[in-house]
Every structure is written in C-alpha cells, then in structure tokens.
Amino acid sequence: MKKLSYILIVVSMLWLAACAPTPTEAPAEAPAEATEAPAAEPKTLVVGFTSSLTGKLEVSAGRQAKGLELWMNEVNGAGGITLGDGTVVTFDFATYDDESSKDRVQELYTRLATEDNADLLISPYSSGLTAAASIIAEQYGKVMITTGAAADSNYQQGYTQVFQIYTPASRYLTGAIDLLKLLDPDVTKLAIVHEDATFATGVVEAAKEYAESLGYEIVIFEGYAGDTTDFGPFINKIEATGAEAILGGGHMTDGSTFARQVYEKDVDIKMFALLVAPPEPDFAELGEAAYAVIGPSQWEPLAAYTPESAAKAGLAWYGLLSDEFVAAYEAAYDEEPSYHSAGGYAAGLILQKAIEDADSTDPAAIKAALDNMDVLTFFGYTKFDTTAEAHGLQIGHSMVYIQWQKDADGNLVKQVVWPQAGATAETIYPIP
Amino acid sequence: MEFLSFLVDGLLMGFVYGVAAIGMSLIWGVMKVINLSHNVLIVYSMFGVYLLFNTLEMNPYLAILLMAIVGLLMGILIYTVALHRVIDAPQLSTLLATFSVSMIMTGVATALWTNSPRNVDFSLGSISLGPITLPGTRVVAALVAVLAAAGLFLFLYRTRPGRYIRAVANNRMAAEMVGVPSNQILALSFGLGAMVAAISGGLIATFFPFNVLSGMNYQLKSFVVCVLGGLGNPFGALVGGLILGALEGVIPIFIETSWVPVFEFGLFVVIIIFRPSGLLGAKQ
C-alpha cells in the first residue's frame, strides 16, 4: 500500500507539472514613450492586459502582445490623441505573464482592475483565458477589447463591457465548406477532428451544423487533447470511413503534428483545412507536409482593405494600410506578422478610434462609441452586436482562407484562396 | 484488415514508448530513483537533432548518435550535481531533486528556444503493404528501439560494468563489500538511462513536430510502460511499450479516441494494485 501511495503521488506530481511547467516572469511594464508636444491637460490612460509569455500559448500570445505594443508606441510616438477640449491622451501598459493559465488570468485581471487601476483592458490570448478575464472586466465595469478570442459563448453571457475584434468561432470554418462546395459538389463525406478546447469545439460544432445543412455527411466528429502527438488512430478512422475532406485542428503544435502525419500516411483526401496553425509563418517548416493545406485567417498581408474599398462599401476608413503595418512590424520585431500580431494592433486601434469618437476618456462614453463602431481598418470591417443576447459579438469582420502553395522557385508561399473576391491564386484541388 | 492497420500503427508507436521507457526503467530499477527529469532529457535530444539537422545539415540518425553521447554525459552530470548527495536519503528526496532538475532545464529550454513547435523536415518515404502505410522514419525508429534494447541487455548481462550494475541493483551493500565502486556504477546507470532517453527523443523528432513541453507526454507514458513491463529489464520495457501502443491503436476502433487515457491509466492502477512488480517483473 505504501508503494501504491508513493506511485500515485508521483503521477499526481507529473500532472501538476504538465499543467504549470514554466517559471513565472516578473510583471513587466512596457515603457511609455514620451509625447512629442506638451499639452494643456495631458492624460495617460493605463491599458491593462496579460500575455502568455510562457506556457503552451506563448507563440501566438507573444505575437499578439507585439502588435499591441507596436500600436501603443506608434500612437504615443505621434503625440497621442488630442481631444476636443485640448486634452492630449497617451497610453501606458500594465501587463503580466499569465503563464497560459486561467487561474493566473483571474488573479492578474483582478490586480489590473484594483491595484494597477487600469482604465481599459485588452484580453489575453485564447478563448479560454479570455472567458476568465471577461468575468473580471464585467465585475469591475472595465471596457475590454478582446483579441485572439473567437468563441461565441463568451459574448452570450449578458456582458456589456466586452467587445470582440475577431470573427467569431461559429464562422471560422464555414468558408472552407463553401469553398469545397464550389470546387467539388460531388464530395459528400467530411471528417471533423478537433482539439477538445473551448475555441476549437465552438468552431467545429458550428461547422458541423453548417455542413449538415448543406447535405454533407460527417463521418467522424471527434476531439483530442491539446498535447496529442499520435494522430494515427484518427487517420486510420478517416481512411476507414472514406472521408473525402478533413476539417478541424486546434492550435499550432497539434495542428502541425496532425498535418505532418496526414502527409506521411499519404491519406487519400481532397481537401484539408485546419484551424490556427496554417496561417502561422512557421507552418512552412513542415515542408511538403504543409503543401495545399488550407487555414482560416483573421487577417493576411495580402488582404486588400483600403480607403478605396471602404468608400466602395460605404464605410468609414480608419488607420494605416496593411503594407504600412507589415513594414512597421517587421522593422520593430524582425519577423513577419501573423494574424495574431495584426489582431493585437487592431485591438489598440479600435480603442483609439472609440476614444476619438467619444471625444472623452470617460468609460461610459468609450463604451457608447464602441457600441456605435462601424469602420473599416487594415484588419477588416469592425462592427459589434448590441443586442442583449450577444452584446459585443463581432458581426462585421470576416475570415480569409489561405492555402500553402509553391512559387516559381518551388518555395512554399501563402495564397489567399477564399473569398473569391480577395483570392490571389486558384485553389490547389484536390490535394496531389 | 482495418483492425490490422490500427494495430500495426499502434505497435510502431509502442516501440517508441518502449525505448522512451527503457531509460526510466533502468534508473528506477537499479537506483530506486524515479527520474522526473526524464522529459527534459527527451526534449533536449529533440532540439539537438533539430539544430544539427537544420544548421549543419547533418543526417538525423548521425545526430541521434551524437545526442546519445551527450545524453550519457548529461546523465552523469545530473547524477553528480543533483542526486549523488541525496541518493541514500528517502525516495522523496531523489524524486524532488530530479523534479527540480526538470523545472530548471525546462526554464532554460523555454528561454533558449521558446515554446514554438519545431519540425525536422526529414522523410524516408513510406512503405505500402496493401491498405497499411508505414512511414519509413517510424519503421527505422522501431528497429533502433529493438537494437537499443538488445544493446543494453547485452551490456547488462555480458560486460563487467553491466554485471556491476546488476549487482548494485540487487544489493548495493553486498556489492560494495566485494569491491564494486557503487558511486561510479550509479552515475553510469543514470547516464545510460539518460542516453536511452536521448535516443528516444531523437527518434521521435524524426517523425513528430515538438516543442519544449513535448517530453512530458512520453514521461507519463513511460510510467505506465514501467509498471506494465517491470523495472530494470530493457525487453520488459519494450514489451510494455508494445502493449501500450497496441491498446492505443486498437481501442479507437471501438470507442472515441479520447477514452484511450482512461483505459491506459485504469490499467496502470490495476497493475500496481495486483502486480506491483509489473507484468513481466519477478513476482513479489
């Protein structure tokens, strides 16, 4: 019995280690840049957020935080926002490492709201962490812009202070199904294999419902743990059921692993669309296994949102162009921005627009401005649901779908393949 | 035929679980130390192979050979620094010592390489046998697993240091009385365990993407394999790995794959209750 207890203690420790394997970083506040000109009544707004500097969400969360930091540096560097009464508003950050942990998020957002006196909040990365932060934002009446948080459920809780930048999860994969329908109306069998997490589950449940409404048969609908490394059983099931296309995935590591194993097993499928992983620049590291894989993206540098397209759509344009964002990001961080980076920047930009529209730093006025937001930026169209059922849900923005293809030199490059209006290349179909 | 396809895939994975567990089984069996730094030894080897492959364009299998030597040296170093002084203390002390090593090395790895997934873009093609497709890298991994188990077995049963290791495992005090240098033998045992962990990490890197946290999954599986196969016997660990792999391969035919861990760890608990020495270990 002693030995049994001992072994059980060991296994418990391992589970604990798996949950929290990385050290905590000390809270770090980004230095605010000095404003260019002295103003009569300068005011610095504190923007609070946490970022997963460590833990499993580190990659995407890090890029999101860089985008946000770039926005703050640019707006402060340009002298801040001048309100009608002459007040010059600049920004400062209060930020912590949440270690990719929900518990830490709740603790840290409480600290941001109470001890750091953050005026405004930005969400952490991922739907799961944002759900935890949203409760705190609502509890303390702080306006929070969410980015990197697509699950619809977070905006169906009756919150009034939380506003979503991303296209909701329910519309993440529906475009891929539309694309498949257009390319090959004869396909009937789909396999949906997804990470068992808030975000991915929300995406695939909506995709399943949509696919079934179009007459598709979902031959597999299964989830996997985020740390899964062996997708062999799923792949064998896909082959056994005769599925013609695969949809699913979850985050970067599991998506990359799944894609590589589908390639190595030479699975006979016509289309393969995964969440999150394919739009990441690092996905190309898979080599041939990345070829022809499709992924929904919140934003791509190729996406052509301009003042002209805004005028054409009858929308107001705000902020910088995609090219300008890409150039500034690459100059600052020496890496290509992903949609997480753009989402971070866009969260700050929308906040800036709301303050300008409100012509005030009063939280109620900023919230009212967000409720009325109807604008096109480099990130796309932004408009929030204002109904009681889904307040703050993003209803303007839509996804673009990229596919990894090869350029003339045989190098892997991303191409936009959907929507058709924004496509930069024909879809490679079926997968060779 | 469908069953065969699931089974073969599971068995190929089982060889990898087996080789990953051999190192833990050896250290646990000989030293009575549960090595919670097993995961980082696997991960460091993955990154070693990745870096050698991408920067020096070295063949991954040559890189694995180098990482095996690095693993041996790392193991001896970890023993000397973290374990030697507490080796005679209660088992909880050695457990916490290796756990601390794991946390430190994970922190260093995160700082060096971030948590981004990495991939060794290397392929040996695939072998098709009817409806069964076997990726070449997985087949090679299975062969290397058998070779590693056989090599370790021969070392333990056919060489003087191997006999010393078995002597220390059976009765350390008696071994010391007949002149076996037990401290050096314990360091060598830990080094050998680390070396096999490094081999498994390198093999896994040739067919799965990974990040700095990927070793934890294999460490957990190694526990189940050690309980299944018994401690200290390389072939026991290999057979334990195959049983685990077969279960993982076959269970999803009947129920959703997410149920697999329930069966795996259920079996783990049943075995430690009714046969604590493992299915292939000596009866107590």
- Give the ipTM of the model, two decimals please: 0.77
CB-CB contact of B30 with B196 (8 Å): no
Q: How far apart are CA B109 and CA B32, in angstroms?
A: 27
Q: Are residues A411 and A283 in the same domain?
A: yes
Assess if residue A12 is contained within a domain: no
**Pair (A281, A408) in one structural domain:** yes
A123 or A303, higher pLDDT: A123
Instruction: Give the mean pLDDT of A47-57.
Output: 89
Q: What value does the mean pLDDT take over residues A131-155?
A: 94
Scan for tokens 């799961």, then name that residue.
A128
Report d(CA B261, CA A229) in Å as an integer.
13
Among the partner-chain residues B137, B217, B249, the one whose CB lies closest to the CB of A229 is: B217
**B109 chain-A contacts, CB cut-off 8 A:** none
Q: Rounded to 5 degrees, what are φ and ψ at A295?
A: -145, 140
pLDDT in tens, B185-225: 999 999 999 999 999 999 999 999 898 989 998 999 998 89
Instruction: Tell me if A54 is assigned to some domain.
Output: yes
Q: Is the dihedral of CA A230, A233, A239, A245 positive or negative?
A: negative
- What is the distance between the terminal CA atoms of chain A, rounded to a whole angstrom? 57
CA-based nearest residue to A354, from A140, A119, A59: A119
Residue carrying structure tokens 């080094």: B191
pTM as predicted: 0.73
| Residues A291 and A415 both lie in one domain | yes
Question: Is the pLDDT confidence value at A198 over 90?
Answer: no
Partner residues linked to B127 by β-bridges: B134
- Of residues A31 and B204, the one with the higher pLDDT is B204
Q: What is the pLDDT of residues B7-53, one digit of tens each?
A: 998 999 999 999 999 999 889 888 888 899 999 999 999 999 999 99
Same domain, A110 and A256: no
Q: Exposure pattern of A4-35 as b/e (b: 16+ CB <10 Å)? A: eeebeebbeebeebbebbbeeeeeeebeebeb
Beta strands A87-97; A81-82: pairing state: antiparallel
Average pLDDT over residues A364-378: 96
Contact between A260 and A287 (Cβ < 8 Å): no
Domain spans, chain B: 2-116+133-274
Decide if B248 and A233 are in contact by the 8 Å CB cutoff. Answer: yes
Tens digit of pLDDT for each residue in A208-254? 999 999 999 999 999 998 888 889 889 989 988 999 999 999 988 89
Alpha-carbon dihedral A256, A261, A263, A265, rounded to 10 degrees: -170
Residues 199-218 of B with CB under 8 A from A: 204, 207-211, 213-214, 216-217
CB pairs under 8 A between A and B: 149
Q: Do B252 and A237 touch (CB under 8 A)?
A: yes
- Contacts with B, A 248-287, CB within 8 Å: 252-253, 256-257, 260-261, 264-266, 282, 285-287
Percent of chain A with pLDDT over 70: 90
With 0-12 / 13-18 / 19 or more C-beta atoms within 10 angstroms meaning exposed / middle / buried, residue B166 is middle
Report which DSSP code applies to A394.
B
Mutate which of A25, A125, A230, A336 to test chain B, going by most B C-beta atoms within 10 A? A230
Decide if A135 contacts A161 (C-beta within 8 A).
no
Tell me if B248 and A252 make a contact (CB, 8 A cut-off).
no
Q: Mean of the pLDDT values across residues B93-113? A: 92
Residues of chain A with Cβ-Cβ distance to B12 below 8 Å are 232
The confidence score (pLDDT) of residue B1 equals 58
Could you say which residues from 143 to 202 on chain B have a Cβ atom under 8 Å away from some Cβ of chain A?
none
Q: With bands split at pLDDT 50, 70 and 90, how would you rate the model's confidence at B255?
A: confident
Report the pLDDT value the prediction gives residue A252, as an integer from 0 to 100: 85
Indicate whether A141 and A269 sit together in one domain.
Answer: no
Q: Cβ contacts (< 8 Å) between B256 and chain A: which residues? A: 222-223
Same domain, A91 and A113: yes
* Together in a domain, A292 and A339: no
Q: Is residue B128 predicted with pLDDT exceeding 90?
A: no
CATH code of B2-116+133-274, in short, is 1.10.3470
Q: Which residues of A touch B36 (CB under 8 A)?
A: 10, 13-14, 17
Residues A235 and A286 in one domain: yes
My answer on whether A56 and A114 are in the same domain is yes
User: Closest to A54 (Cβ–Cβ): which among B10, B110, B272?
Assistant: B110
A242: left (phi over 0), alpha (psi -120 to 50) or beta: left
Q: Does a structural domain hold residue A32?
A: no
Q: Do B258 and A196 touch (CB under 8 A)?
A: yes
**Residue of B75, B73, B69, B28 lying closest to B49 (CA atoms):** B69
- The C-alpha atoms of residue A269 and residue A259 are separated, in whole angstroms, by 12
Contacts of A297 (CB under 8 A, 6+ apart): A278, A279, A339, A399, A400, A401, A402
Asked if residues A177 and A210 have their Cβ atoms less than 8 Å apart, the reply is: yes
Q: What is the pLDDT of residue A257?
A: 92
Chain centroid to Cα A11, Å, comes to 34
How far off is chain A from B17, nearest CA to CA, in Å?
11
Q: How confident is the model at residue A290 (pLDDT cuts 50, 70, 90)?
A: very high
**Among the listed residues A259, A292, A291, the one whose alpha carbon sits nearest the alpha carbon of residue A275:** A259
Contact B114 A266 (CB under 8 A): no
pLDDT of residue A7: 56
Asked whether residue A227 falls in the same domain as residue A214, the answer is yes
Give dist(CA A112, CA A96) in Å, integer: 9
Cβ atoms of A285 and A255 within 8 Å: the answer is no
What residues contact residue B240 under an 8 Å CB cut-off, 6+ apart?
B17, B18, B21, B224, B225, B226, B227, B228, B229, B230, B278, B279, B280
What CATH number does the domain containing A133 carry? 3.40.50.2300
Residues A289 and A351 in one domain: no
Mean pLDDT (whole number) for A320-338: 94
Backbone angles phi, psi at B195, to 5 degrees: -65, -45
CA distance A299 to A340: 8
* A23 confidence band (pLDDT: 50, 70, 90): very low
The whole domain housing A307 covers 41-167+303-383
CA distance B26 to A368: 66
The C-alpha atoms of residue B269 and residue B275 are separated, in whole angstroms, by 10
Alpha carbons B133 and A266: distance in angstroms, whole number: 8
Q: How many domains does chain A have?
A: 2
A54 and A163: one domain? yes
> What residues of chain A lie within 8 A of the CB of B223, using their CB?
7, 10-11, 14
What's the longest Cα–Cα distance across chain A? 75
According to the model, what pLDDT value does residue B143 have?
Answer: 94
Q: Which residues of B touch A289 (CB under 8 A)?
A: 121
Q: How many CB atoms lie within 10 A of CB B92?
A: 13
The residue type of A194 is H
Determine the residue type at A224. Y
For residue A421, the model assigns a pLDDT of 67
